[in-house]
């Protein structure tokens, strides 16, 4: 892989009249091509009584088309050593795939066929519904998943982000095949589709293939996406616990609303989050809560990114007997984080790590394609990767402290946990 950073001189970006966008970056030494992207719709389109409808519909797309049944479709994909997958998030349907460069047109034609002409076979509908319900049942017994869902409900309240994309057992069990077909007809189409591709194909050739496949897709039935409603954060602390029987571990989530992804605060808080407790680097909370106090099996902090409201949260797996002690110690570390500036040594260590990871992020076709998608989604501009080192270097301890004070407050924390019943 070329070690130079992709930028406006090497990334091809084109749009088509049907509302689709292509971003392409070459890695001509690779025989393979990787692509990823997003399109309408997302789980935000689900009506209150039909949570999980968008996700269920997307899961059905890869189970067969009007031309190819399930076995034929997957045999065709596997026969050329390719892969193709789809999923649903809050605001969009995502897709990704990989193939040899000579098979790219075949795979993109299949992608359009899968999205545009799904079979919605009754047999597959029942199979997929059972898979989803099994997945929900497993999640409902997972302390980490339950604590996370409780956190989303507490933080987001009536906002659509409060609900899991996969839906609830009751809502999914009540969905009918006709609802999926109607939802598909109303919401799936090319307008708003973004695809990024990287690998052993010249961007101009990728553009020609895109034009013949995805760029030529037309539909007259696609509805505009739902507007994301405003989010009102909680005005005071929220504490909730979900009791799960016979669990030997409790999982804990502590958090607040995060800065907007498209803001200077986000860049500053990203550096601050690594100091606080980014997974893999331990950070302050890992050293204090896990290493020194021994109160958590694992603990880390996460700064959410996305269009719309996201969360800045700490997650921890703890012995149920240590739950309240862990909460108390984490509160102390949160208070220290927004009342005392980080040290210059902490700041420099994290900056060095962040700068060192940048070249690693563009070592693979998948890594570059994923970055290109983020650049498009968040409007960073094609020179974002080149500008990022200077952005990282410019963050100061004073900025981190000021930003931390804007977002963290021990008197306004959302705290949720799941596991053994509290005594």
Query: pLDDT by residue (tens digit) across 284-307?
Result: 999 999 999 999 999 999 999 999
**pLDDT tens digits, 345-382:** 999 999 999 999 999 889 999 999 999 999 999 999 99
Answer yes or no: do 211 and 247 share one domain: no
Contact 19, 192 (CB under 8 A): yes
Write out the two tokens for 10: 């090497």
Same domain, 179 and 298: no
Average pLDDT of 390-405? 97
Look up the pTM and report it: 0.93
CATH number at residue 345: 3.30.830.10
Kindly state whether residues 206 and 264 are assigned to the same domain: no
Going by pLDDT thresholds of 50, 70 and 90, the confidence category of residue 221 is confident
Grade residue 281 by pLDDT with cuts at 50, 70 and 90: low
Answer yes or no: do 42 and 180 share one domain: yes
Given this model, what pLDDT does residue 1 score? 44
Q: Is residue 222 part of a domain?
A: no
Q: Considering the chain, what is the average pLDDT of its residues?
A: 95
- 125: closest CA among 82, 186, 64, 41? 64
Average pLDDT score over residue span 412-420: 97
Q: List all residues 6 or more positions away from 25 whose beta carbon is below 8 Å from its beta carbon.
A: 6, 10, 11, 12, 196, 197, 198, 203, 368, 369, 372
Kind plus residue range of the DSSP H or E element containing 408: none
Same domain? 112 vs 80: yes
- State residue 245's pLDDT score: 86
- Ordered DSSP codes for 98-143: EEEGGGHHHHHHHHHHHHHSB---HHHHHHHHHHHHHHHHHHTT-H
Give me the number of domains the chain comprises: 2
The region that residue 66 occupies, defined by phi over 0 for left and psi between -120 and 50 for alpha, beta otherwise, is alpha
Query: Looking at the structure, do residues 202 and 99 belong to the same domain, yes or no?
Result: yes
Q: What is the pLDDT of residues 3-58, one digit of tens each?
A: 578 999 999 999 999 999 999 999 999 999 999 999 999 999 999 899 999 999 99
**What pLDDT is recorded for position 407?**
98
What integer pLDDT is reported at residue 279 of this predicted model? Answer: 59
Give the domain range for residue 277. Answer: 238-419
Based on the fold, state whether residues 190 and 244 are members of the same structural domain. no
Question: In the prediction, which pLDDT does 280 show?
Answer: 55
pLDDT of residue 137: 97
Both 267 and 395 in one domain: the answer is yes
């Amino acid at each position: 892989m070329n070690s130079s950073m992709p930028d406006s001189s090497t990334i091809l970006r084109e749009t088509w009249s049907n509302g689709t966008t292509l971003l392409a970056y070459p890695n001509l030494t690779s025989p393979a091509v990787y692509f990823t992207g997003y399109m309408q719709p997302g789980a935000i389109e689900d009506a209150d009584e039909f949570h999980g409808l968008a996700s269920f519909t997307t899961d059905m797309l890869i189970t067969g088309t009007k031309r190819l049944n399930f076995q034929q479709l997957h045999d065709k994909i596997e026969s050329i050593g390719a892969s193709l997958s789809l999923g649903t998030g809050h605001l969009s349907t995502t897709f990704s795939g990989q193939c040899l460069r000579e098979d790219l047109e075949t795979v993109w034609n299949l992608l359009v066929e899968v999205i545009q002409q799904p079979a919605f076979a009754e047999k597959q509908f029942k199979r997929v519904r059972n898979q989803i319900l099994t997945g929900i049942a497993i999640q409902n017994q997972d302390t980490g998943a339950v604590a996370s869902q409780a956190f989303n409900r507490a933080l987001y309240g009536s906002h659509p982000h409060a609900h899991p994309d996969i839906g609830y057992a009751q809502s999914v069990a009540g969905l009918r095949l006709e609802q999926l077909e109607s939802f598909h007809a109303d919401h799936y189409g090319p307008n708003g589709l973004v695809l990024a591709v990287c690998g052993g194909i010249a961007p101009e050739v990728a553009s020609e293939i895109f034009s013949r496949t995805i760029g030529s897709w037309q539909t007259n039935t696609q509805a505009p996406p739902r507007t994301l409603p405003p989010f009102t954060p909680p005005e005071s602390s929220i504490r909730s616990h979900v009791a799960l029987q016979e669990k030997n571990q409790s999982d804990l989530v502590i958090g607040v609303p995060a800065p907007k992804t498209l803001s200077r605060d986000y860049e500053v808080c990203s550096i601050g989050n690594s100091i606080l407790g980014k997974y893999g680097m331990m950070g302050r909370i890992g050293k204090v809560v896990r290493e020194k106090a021994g109160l958590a099996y694992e603990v880390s902090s996460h700064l959410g990114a996305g269009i719309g409201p996201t969360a800045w949260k700490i997650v921890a797996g703890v012995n149920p007997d240590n739950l309240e002690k862990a909460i108390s110690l984490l509160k102390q570390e949160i208070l220290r984080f927004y009342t005392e500036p980080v040290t210059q040594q902490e700041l420099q260590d994290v900056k060095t790590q962040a700068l060192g990871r940048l070249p690693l992020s563009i070592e693979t076709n998948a890594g570059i394609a994923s970055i290109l998608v983020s650049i498009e989604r968040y409007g960073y501009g094609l020179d974002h990767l080149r500008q990022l080192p200077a952005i990282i270097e410019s963050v100061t301890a004073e900025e981190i402290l000021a930003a931390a004070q804007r977002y963290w407050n021990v008197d306004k924390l959302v705290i949720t946990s799941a596991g053994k019943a509290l005594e």
